[in-house]
Amino acid sequence: MIALVQRVRSARVEVAGAVVGAIGPGLLVLVCAEPTDTPAQAARLVDKLLKLRVFADAAGKMNLSLRDIAGELLLVSQFTLAADTSSGNRPSYTGAAPAALGRELYDEVLRLARAAHPRVQAGVFGADMQVHLVNDGPVTLPLRV
């Protein structure tokens, strides 16, 4: 699975002009499943997200996790993270999981995150979404599990 993690002061997702998920300080995570991904990788991703030390401690060092700061998590499906731009000018998305598998794995990430953390919001799989965020730092990290 591929994830793009952004430390945010706030973020929200809108579908058709309606807010479907919004958070305060925490992590906005764009999530992409690849064809060979499994539920075990979804579990590893959630574990990594909750333990990733990207928030400042009292000394100003990135040493605290989402759990440590009681932060919020916003998960958004994003198949374009699997884009191949190595040839030509039009990206290829053959590296992304088929829609059914992508939905299954995104739903698993969401289920596991909600079971492990009290403040989880989400976008809508496959929807045309507008994502608004205030990136904190900025801190943006690519992950592959």
The residues that are catalytic are 78-80
Q: Tally the C-alpha atoms within 13 A of residue 50's C-alpha that lie toward its C-beta.
A: 18
Give the CA distances from residue 27 to residues 42, 67, 135, in Å, rounded to whole numbers and listed in that order: 17, 11, 9
- Among positive and negative, which fits the CA dihedral 61, 76, 135, 90? positive
- Amino acid, single-letter form, for residue 107: D
Burial of 129 (0-12, 13-18, 19+ CB in 10 A): middle
Q: CB–CB of 121/1 below 8 Å? A: no
